Structures are given as structure tokens and as C-alpha cells.
């Protein structure tokens, strides 16, 4: 493993911890890190193996057995999740199992912390119940995770904020309605954006761009490196690249089992 790739993988692992639930634990086994979040057993990105290398069709059964052993405390109905990092992964499946790929981006050193003008709304830091309730409503309208998980995840972000590990920001209109939101959370010298989202009726107006550049400016006062993540080929990925973020690795996830467990 080259030094540059070691550094990229270390950055990815630290960034993944930046906005992780406060009770997430990691321990090492041969060939992988084991992540455990007992407060929400169905949270599959907090109950997974982060493998040192991509699995193969031939090694998958052995990894499955080790996973079942480590997560015997969870219901058998929860999915099994393996993640790993690659510089530029091209595989789309292992056997009959599809692979989800997210691109991890870092803000370039020369990326200006510009402040984009807003045609509507103003930028605020979350400060009360109403902001978090509106965030949950935005996410429920956009994703199919369900109320239980969405509320739990918002509560974990809030707990990180209360512990001084970061802040959620938003753009609100004159009536205080949340139009766009993004979190900024920290681990060591790394900052990570969390949950960038815009209400459906306000998309395409530059709100996300303005909020991201504002949050980036605030992050730079606390962390040397700023990371943002998007699904490969998504509109979000195109936006981040247009703002000057540079990809440094691909995060792969292989889920085996019922997707509704979240």
C-alpha cells in the first residue's frame, strides 16, 4: 500500500467518525475494523465491517460467518454490511450482491471560502427544537428511511453538537421556515459535512451552494481538512465538483439482507 493511499484511507476513516453517533465503537479484528452502534441496532452504517481490502465472491462466506459471530447480539433480521475504500473502484457487484459507491471529496487548499449571495433567506446555526423538527420533516419528505431512524439520527447529530463536536446550519426564510440544511462535524483535524438537503420546492436556486461555501468557511477555522460525500454520478457529486472539491477515494458498501431494517 503506497504512502499516499495510506493517507487517503486514514482520512476516510477519520471523516467517517466525524459525524458518527456518539456511542459508535470500533475495534480491530484481522482484516477489518468492526463498527458497533448499540443504541440503534438497525443502523447498518454503524453496525458493519470496514474491510482492509475488497471482498471476493470466494471470501464472502467466511466474512459472513465472522460478521454473524461479532453481531450475534443483533436480530437475524438486520442486514449484513461490509464497507471498504478504493482509490477508484469499478466493481458494481460481488456475486449477486450489488455494491453502492460514494465518492469522498476534500476541499482543495486553494478552494476559496467564498460567500455566495442569497436571493432569499438567511443563514443560521441551529439553536432550538424547531430547527431539528424541521430538519426531520425535510428528510422524511426526501428519503424513505422512516420516522424512527430519521428522528434517532437527528438526535445523534444534536448530541454531537451539544458535546461541542460540530453544528448544524440552515437557510431560513423570513418566517423561520427551514429551506436548506447542512451539518459540519469534527474529528481531530478533519471536518465533515453531514446531511446536505434542500426542500424540494427550493431546489435549483443556489441555496445548497451558498450554504456549503459558508459552512466550509467556518470549518476552516477549526480543521485542516474538510470532507464531503456524495453517491457516484449524482447531482450532489456534480455540485461538489463544480464548487472545487476534489475526490480522494471511493467508499464501497455491500449490504446483504433486508433493506427495511433501518
For 11-42, the pLDDT digits (tens) are 999 999 999 999 999 999 999 999 999 999 98
**Do 78 and 129 fall within a single domain?**
no
Residue 114 lies in a domain: no
**Do 84 and 197 fall within a single domain?**
no
pTM (2 decimals)?
A: 0.91
Of the candidates 20, 7, 25, 262, the one whose C-alpha atom is nearest the C-alpha of residue 144 is 262
Residue 116 lies in a domain: no
* 4 φ/ψ angles, rounded to the nearest 5 degrees: -65, -40
The mean pLDDT of 65-80, rounded to a whole number, is: 91
pLDDT at 17: 95
**Do 173 and 231 fall within a single domain?**
yes
Query: Which residues 6+ apart lie within 8 Å of 189 measured at CB?
Result: 223, 224, 225
pLDDT at 109: 72
The whole domain housing 96 covers 3-102+251-261
Number of domains in the chain: 2
**Do 152 and 244 fall within a single domain?**
yes
Residue 115 lies in a domain: no
The mean pLDDT of 71-94, rounded to a whole number, is: 86
Instruction: Tell me the pLDDT tens digit for each residue of 228-250.
Output: 999 988 999 999 999 989 999 99
d(CA 199, CA 5): 37
Residue 61 lies in a domain: yes
Amino acid at each position: 500500500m503506497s504512502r499516499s493511499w495510506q493517507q487517503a484511507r486514514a482520512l476516510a476513516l477519520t471523516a467517517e467518525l466525524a459525524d458518527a453517533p456518539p456511542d459508535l465503537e470500533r475495534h480491530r479484528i484481522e482484516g477489518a475494523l468492526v463498527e458497533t452502534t448499540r443504541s440503534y441496532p438497525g443502523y447498518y452504517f454503524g453496525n458493519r465491517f470496514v474491510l482492509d481490502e475488497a471482498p471476493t465472491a470466494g471470501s464472502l462466506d467466511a466474512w459472513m460467518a465472522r460478521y454473524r459471530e461479532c453481531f450475534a447480539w443483533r436480530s437475524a433480521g438486520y442486514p449484513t454490511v461490509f464497507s471498504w475504500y478504493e482509490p477508484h473502484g469499478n466493481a458494481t457487484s460481488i456475486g449477486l450482491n450489488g455494491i453502492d459507491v460514494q465518492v469522498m471529496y476534500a476541499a482543495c487548499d486553494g478552494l476559496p471560502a467564498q460567500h455566495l449571495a442569497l436571493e432569499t433567506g438567511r443563514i443560521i446555526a441551529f439553536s432550538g427544537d424547531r430547527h431539528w423538527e424541521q430538519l426531520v420533516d425535510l428528510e422524511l419528505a426526501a428519503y424513505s428511511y422512516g420516522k424512527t431512524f430519521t428522528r434517532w439520527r437527528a438526535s445523534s447529530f444534536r448530541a454531537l453538537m451539544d458535546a461541542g463536536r460540530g453544528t448544524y446550519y440552515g437557510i431560513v426564510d423570513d418566517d423561520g421556515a427551514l429551506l436548506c440544511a447542512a451539518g459540519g462535524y469534527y474529528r481531530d483535524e478533519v471536518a465533515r459535512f453531514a446531511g446536505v438537503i434542500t426542500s424540494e420546492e427550493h431546489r435549483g436556486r443556489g441555496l445548497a451552494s451558498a450554504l456549503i461555501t459558508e459552512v466550509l468557511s467556518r470549518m476552516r477555522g477549526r480543521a485542516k481538512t474538510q470532507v464531503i460525500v456524495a453517491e457516484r454520478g449524482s447531482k450532489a457529486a456534480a455540485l461538489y465538483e463544480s464548487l472545487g472539491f476534489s475526490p480522494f477515494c471511493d467508499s464501497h458498501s455491500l449490504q446483504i439482507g433486508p433493506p427495511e431494517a433501518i
